Amino acid sequence: MGRLDNKTAVVTGAATGIGKATVKLFAQEGARVICADVDEEDVRKTVEGINTNGGQAESYALDVSEQESVRVFANYVEETYGTIDVLFNNAGVDEEGGKVHEYPVDLFDQIISVDLRGTFLVSKYLLPLMFENGGSIINTSSMSGQAADLDRSGYNAAKGGITNFTRAMAIDYARQGIRVNAVSPGTIETPLVDELAGTKKEEEGREFREAQKWVTPIGRLGKPEEIASAALFLASDESSFITGEDLTVDGGLTAYTWPGKMLMDNSWKETTK
């Protein structure tokens, strides 16, 4: 406890899933947390829960893909808090779009706009609030930014861009005491997974989870709290000599080149039951 005492943190995509788990953990560790999300109602509920439990948080309705909205948000944060210590660029969307020749242009633009452009815009306008005292920026990338997925080229492009954008910022601001890292989750049990693959109550969702369990060396999906813990490490002084890093938290899924024997060895699948 207390790893973020007296620090001010901004988290985007804070209403549900990884963002919700992270703002709760940041608050437990002593941070004042500004919770931004396009879903005004859900982010308000998240903040109410934090404050009820003795934390310090406020909600802000924000579309990270809208430049003027982000600029106004940054002005508000500066006027209210003066400086910030932590920025977690977590807002993102994902959806299958088919092969590239059939991929809807509108969908590609939406994913790039929210995931990659949103990370750029929020960083651009909030970075100056770290110039005085330094700070830590964490960007949510993905294992899908390191390798490709079938029918999700827009998401792959956005997350791959975030990973290298993270390195660029790390170089740009290292001498100003600002560290910039990414966290790359594997498949995490979140509402986004429910939307993409189906819920645990749906047959399609159950089949997806069983497939993920046996192909992931640790044998299960990740939890939002596990990504929050990684973000906390990167936000805290415990990672004071780490910058430009992409921390993969995927249960070992990207540790191998291809499933190989796992496809043929039923005993491997049985170990997840």
Residues designated as active site? 155
Q: Which residues pair with 60 in a beta bridge?
A: 36
Find, among 84, 172, 169, 67, the residue nearest to 128 by Cα: 84
First to last CA, the chain: 35
Q: Which residue has the tokens 């859900």?
A: 42
For 3, the 3-state DSSP assignment is coil
Q: Residue 253 burial (CB < 10 Å; 0-12/13-18/19+)?
A: middle
Cα dihedral: 109, 115, 120, 123 (round 10):
150
Q: Compute the C-alpha angle 63/226/92, nearest 5°.
A: 20
* Residues in the chain, total: 273
Q: Compute the C-alpha angle 114/39/51, nearest 5°.
A: 120
**Contact between residue 68 and residue 117 where contact means Cβ atoms under 8 Å apart:** no
C-alpha distances in Å from residue 44, one per residue of 58, 59, 70, 183: 8, 6, 18, 25
132 C-beta neighbours (distance < 10 Å), count: 11
